[in-house]
């Protein structure tokens, strides 16, 4: 069988990755898109694109009927699901087959079997693959789960049987935490996977998370492509992945690889899949689950094994045998991947907004898998992953240094990202030493908040002023231009004051332009500079023999700058004195208006109006991107008002509740 057209049933960076793989094979790629993705990068790159419904994933990317209809309309012979959405839904694989379409993935029976973590663990035990102690029974009654939790012992991990990605997962360290943890895990699992079944597992303290990539064809061959270590996680979701793992000896690597192949064959598996394990400090490993799809972190394996997993997936789906045996495969160098998310680096809450600038690094040994470009919008409708940065080098030390340099160059302006956290991880001595357990962030004292408002470096303020003046003067010279900044700079030789606000602070920069030099003064810094390069997004300045590169963008009244790995947002101020702006008020003493930290849906109220509450007591539960976020009281007080009810949609910054401490004192 040969494919000349494949439909990509996904979006974002993985859709872009799949489209490019198709094009490299000479296969036409068909995209599908929701109303929110009409102008998305994957739509622009595809040979054809078809609308499949509203922004809500349940009415578009999760609609089997609409995707099948688009595939039939396009004349595609096969469908690649990518990861997420319908990629691990057996009924979608069956629907493809019923429509005469080849599903590029495993058989629906294998998806069904391994998609149930409970059934997968039973199969692992039968195949002689170690599993952690736990409860995987069909009886999901609260009484049985409580009894089994006591039997398994603490600390305990509650996990959704039907899914992964950290959804439906809770850690329980005391019996008092058990009841709310069970309720929350089941509720989140039901919302994310349509199935609230959970299983209990004894929590292995300070483990490493190691997974094995497997490939199986339709002719009985199955191989492993070594491991990826994915120990560094936030909210039980991976953010750093690498291969090989420093924790595996050659013998242990071969043993775990053989166990993965054995389990995949027992499941009747075909195509690409990943088996995940926990590895304790003594080298004992325990099977966790199997992901019956391509993984987010597959580029790490591609780098060290010298293969293209997507092209191999397509070939296997077309009936081709594996082009190599286990003996043909070997590890080559070291690779590390980091995931760039639109989220706060401290709270991990998702972020949305207009991407004013997206400028990933480039160079030898650097790969970028991205699903967006400058000018795109990041919405609340989908997973907040924006891109992946992958580096490869002959040794781990060289790969870490390459990653550090690449992250310092990475610029995303207009949307909050986790880049500060990733840079802090890579700079940490424990990461350099390879001491990476699932407790890495806590052990390293991460995340921490970057202060990018109270102290703005003089270099940043000067670059903003020069960049703005260059942009404004260029606009003023354009016929019919509508300059975005009032008071366009004029080359009069007089110092031009440029005012900016960052947080509660205002800064004034005085800039004069000479024939080939610039003079800038701000807060005691008096500098003579040369502009070596300037473009739509780049500004290179030289001062006293030192050259600095800045990335700039504009969003409304803000000048956005990336410099030395940190992003700054400066609000341009016109006609205000430096003394007129002070710290903003915080309302009456003892009164708090609790604002939504991100847009989402109120799913549960945990307090009532008039109720006396204690500090850190949960008040309500907000859901965004299928993850729950609990809003708590900042101090002891009385709930004066609950502004929303379950089911209500709220915007970021919306007042959710009002709390008064006066009556509690």
Cβ atoms within 10 Å of 380's Cβ, excluding its own: 20
Q: Which of 293, 396, 499, 501 is catalytic?
A: 293
Count the alpha carbons within 13 Å of 532 in the hemisphere toward its beta carbon. 10
Name the nearest CA neighbour of 222 among 266, 190, 181, 185: 266
- Structure tokens given for 288: 């966790």
- Structure tokens given for 305: 């094994």
Class of residue 45 by CB neighbours under 10 A (exposed 0-12, middle 13-18, buried 19+): middle
**Coil, strand or helix at 44:** helix
Residue whose pair of structure tokens reads 């430096």 in the numeric block: 578
Give all strands of the β-sheet with 385-393 in edge-to-edge order. 285-291, 271-279, 208-216, 222-229, 240-243, 334-341, 385-393, 366-370
Q: Label residues 289-301 b or e (16+ Cβ within 10 Å = b).
A: bbbbbbbbbbbbb
For residues 60 and 45, is the Cβ–Cβ distance under 8 A?
no
d(CA 74, CA 646): 41
d(CA 170, CA 407): 32
Class of residue 39 by CB neighbours under 10 A (exposed 0-12, middle 13-18, buried 19+): exposed
Cis peptide before 447 (omega within 30 of 0): yes
Q: Label residues 427-454 b or e (16+ Cβ within 10 Å = b).
A: ebeebeeebbbbebbeebebbeebebee
- Structure tokens given for 135: 């409860």
DSSP per position, 384-438: -EEEEEEEEESSHHHHHHHHHHHHHH-EEESS--SHHHHHHHHHSHHHHTT---T
Pairing of strands 78-80, 198-202: unpaired
| Distant-in-sequence, close-in-space partners of 572: CB < 8 Å, separation ≥ 6 | 468, 485, 498, 499, 500, 557, 558, 559
d(CA 12, CA 85): 12
Count the alpha carbons within 13 Å of 65 in the hemisphere toward its beta carbon. 3
d(CA 40, CA 289): 33
Pairing of strands 78-80, 102-103: parallel
Task: Indicate if 94 belongs to the active site.
Answer: no
DSSP per position, 315-375: HHHTTPPPS--GGG----SEEEEEEEESB-TTT--B--EE-SEEE---STTEEEEES--TT
d(CA 321, CA 316): 6
163-167, long-range: CB < 8 A, 24+ apart = 163/88, 163/189, 163/192, 163/193, 163/195, 164/289, 164/291, 165/84, 165/192, 165/236, 165/237, 166/233, 166/235, 166/236, 166/237, 166/627, 167/192, 167/193, 167/626, 167/627
- Structure tokens given for 141: 């009654």
For residues 156 and 201, is the Cβ–Cβ distance under 8 A?
yes
Alpha carbon 25 to its chain's center: 29
For residues 531 and 466, is the Cβ–Cβ distance under 8 A?
yes
According to DSSP, the residues that pair with 507 across neighbouring strands are: 500
Indicate which residues carry an active-site annotation.
293
């Amino acid at each position: 069988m040969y494919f000349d057209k494949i439909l990509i049933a996904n979006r974002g960076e993985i859709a872009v990755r799949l489209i490019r793989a198709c094009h490299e094979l000479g296969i036409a790629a068909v995209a599908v898109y929701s109303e929110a993705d009409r102008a998305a990068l994957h739509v622009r790159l595809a040979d054809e694109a078809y609308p499949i419904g509203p922004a809500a994933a349940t009415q578009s990317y999760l609609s089997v009927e609409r995707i099948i209809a688009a595939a039939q309309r396009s004349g595609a012979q096969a469908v690649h699901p990518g990861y997420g959405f319908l990629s691990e839904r057996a009924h979608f694989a069956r629907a493809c087959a019923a429509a005469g379409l080849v599903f590029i993935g495993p058989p629906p029976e294998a998806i069904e079997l391994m998609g149930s973590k409970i059934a997968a663990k039973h199969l692992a035990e039968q195949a002689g693959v170690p599993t952690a102690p736990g409860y995987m029974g069909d009886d999901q009654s609260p009484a049985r789960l409580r009894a089994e939790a006591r039997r398994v012992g603490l600390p305990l991990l509650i996990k959704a049987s039907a899914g992964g990605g950290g959804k439906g997962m809770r850690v329980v360290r005391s019996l008092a935490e058990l009841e709310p943890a069970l309720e929350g895990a089941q509720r989140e699992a039901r919302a994310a996977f349509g199935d609230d079944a959970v299983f209990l597992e004894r929590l292995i303290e300070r483990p490493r998370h190691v997974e094995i990539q497997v490939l199986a064809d339709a002719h009985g061959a199955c191989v492993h492509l070594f491991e990826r270590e994915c120990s560094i996680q936030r909210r039980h979701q991976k953010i750093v992945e690498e291969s090989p793992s420093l924790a595996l000896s050659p013998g242990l690597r071969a043993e775990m690889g053989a166990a993965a192949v054995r389990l995949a064959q027992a499941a009747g598996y075909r195509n690409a899949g990943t088996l995940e394990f926990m590895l304790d400090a003594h080298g004992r490993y325990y099977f966790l689950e199997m992901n019956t799809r391509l993984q987010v972190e597959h580029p790490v394996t591609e780098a060290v094994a010298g293969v293209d997993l997507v092209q191999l997936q397509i070939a296997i789906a077309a009936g081709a045998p594996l082009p190599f045996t286990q003996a043909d495969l070997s590890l080559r160098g070291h690779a590390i991947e980091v995931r760039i998310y639109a989220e706060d680096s401290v709270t991990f809450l998702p972020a949305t907004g207009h991407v004013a600038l997206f400028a990933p690094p480039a160079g030898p040994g650097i790969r970028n898998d991205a699903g967006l470009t400058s000018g795109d919008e990041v919405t609340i409708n989908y997973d907040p992953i924006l891109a992946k940065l992958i580096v490869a080098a002959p040794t781990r030390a060289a790969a870490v240094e390459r990653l550090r340099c690449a992250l310092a160059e990475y610029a995303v302006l207009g949307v909050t990202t986790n880049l500060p956290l990733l840079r802090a991880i890579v700079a940490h001595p424990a990461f350099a030493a390879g001491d990476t357990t699932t407790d890495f962030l806590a052990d390293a004292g991460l995340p921490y908040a970057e202060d990018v408002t109270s102290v703005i470096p003089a270099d940043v303020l000067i670059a903003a002023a020069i960049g703005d003046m260059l942009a404004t003067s260029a606009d003023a010279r354009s016929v019919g231009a509508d300059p975005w900044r009032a008071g366009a700079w004029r080359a009069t030789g007089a110092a031009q004051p440029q005012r900016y606000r960052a947080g509660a602070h205002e800064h004034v920069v005085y800039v004069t332009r000479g024939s080939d030099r610039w003079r800038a003064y701000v807060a005691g810094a008096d500098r003579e500079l040369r502009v070596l390069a300037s473009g739509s997004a780049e500004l290179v300045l030289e001062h006293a023999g030192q050259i600095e590169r800045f990335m700039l963008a504009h969003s409304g009244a803000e000048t956005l700058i990336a410099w030395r790995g940190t992003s700054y947002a400066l609000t341009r101020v016109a006609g205000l004195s430096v003394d007129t702006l002070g710290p903003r008020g915080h309302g009456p003493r003892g009164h708090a208006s609790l604002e939504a930290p991100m847009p989402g849906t109120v799913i549960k109220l945990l307090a009532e109006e008039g109720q006396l509450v204690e500090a850190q007591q949960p008040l309500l539960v907000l859901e965004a991107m299928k993850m729950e976020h609990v809003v708590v009281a900042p101090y002891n007080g009385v709930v004066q008002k609950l502004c929303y009810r379950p089911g209500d949609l709220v915007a970021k910054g919306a007042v959710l509740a009002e709390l008064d401490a006066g009556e509690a004192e």
